Structure 1
Amino acid sequence: MEDSVAGFRQSMDPLRQVLVNLESTSDPVFLSETVKCALIGLMRDLRGIAMATNSRRTFGFLFDWLYPAHTPLLLRVVMNWADSPPVTTPLLKFVAELVLNKSQRLTFEPSSPNGILLFREVSKLLVAYGSRNLALSDQDDVYTRKYKGIWLSLLILSRAMAGNYVNFGVFELYGDRALDDALDIALKMILSIPAAHILSYRKVAIAYFTFMEVILSNVLLPLIIWHHSILSKLSWEICLL
């Protein structure tokens, strides 16, 4: 196991160097075109690696390498580049792949908090991105600028909530708003899209109905009651089309 971990870390060293360089970049330079290109390439590489982790063991290597050392960079990217789809799209696709529990690779030990920690990071990212997405104008290419990021955010949240690796009761028990905040921003992003547009864009519609199916599960019944008025409004608008 130690040899495998060492081998994984050695293979990831080039990406680690990129991450370290970006993390140490000052704010003015962080908004440069050079950093933008580096971020796009980095997120695409990380997504490819995440797609290749098909077992619990290999996913554990990636998660331990990424968290908590490098996850703050993801949040920094969202906070500074939210209005740039070429940057946010590969980042959101990477996160969507990271939270996908394919082949039960996200099956943590019963005593492990990793599932909760992962969801908390996802929640922070979605809230940071969603709040900035809502402030974007609807001019020009509205799908590329806004809707694509919204359906990717819904995909991330749907996969995270349906992955069966997070005990959501823990958040309410300890007064942690990670789940509530993620759900709130997701619903706000949905409401920012006219109902007709939801059905006009296939990927938006798929993400919307998948998300609705997940949150209407019995696991999230208290949240359904809490957000009943919003959910009713969404359903009514869709039915009228």
Structure 2
Amino acid sequence: MGRVDSKVVIVTGAGNGIGASSAHLLAREGAKVVVTDIDEAAGTRVAEDIGDNAIFVKQDVASEADWANVVQRAEESFGPVAGLVNNAGIVGPNDVALADLRDEDFQKVLQVNVYSVFKGMQSVLGSMKENGGGSIVNVSSTSGLVGSVNVTSYVTTKFAVRGITKAAALEFAEHGVRVNSVHPGGIRTNIEVFDAVKAATPLGRIAEPEEVSNLILYLISDEASFSTGSEFVVDGGFTAQ
């Protein structure tokens, strides 16, 4: 038996990196996976690699209509949603001081990194109630725990993900829906592979996406049945310093 047998799980930003790794792992452990990404080619490839236990739905996570479509497609294809991995995100402008950050760039990162998490949780709640409960994993960052220079929009949004996770966990508990945040450090993905982070990490290396998706699998599974509103850090000791 798999650890998430027959659970219907939506994974956003699943065309690559942590999202792709999580989609594959969840499917191997028995889940029915809805792979979403704004990159149609990448998302389709992941769903096709998984096979019959996955479908791909193109999604702009900052679109309310797209969220409604994703949940509808999940229910039509597999049944009520049991899990959501809010993984999609962008860094935004790098090496830009707060004083020089343009409004439009700041707003874009807010839409992709925060609004998407809010709308995703709001959109799946009804389906999870029908399912009899569920688990939501919001992917934040170590930048949601400590500050970083010249990435103001990213730090702002990742702290917001941490906060909205706790608020939702308290509100959704009565419905048997757990909500937790995951905080990766330096991960070998298309978003962040920073030499400075590697050098500052006590374990002395960048992590592989699978080292985060293993934790995500645990949180989606019933093994984490008493964990909600919590922060799970995967950073090689970076924030312990």
Q: TM-score, length-normalised on structure 2?
A: 0.35
Over alpha carbons, which structure has the higher Rg? 1
User: Which protein is richer in helix relative to its size?
Assistant: 1
User: Which protein is richer in strand relative to its size?
Assistant: 2
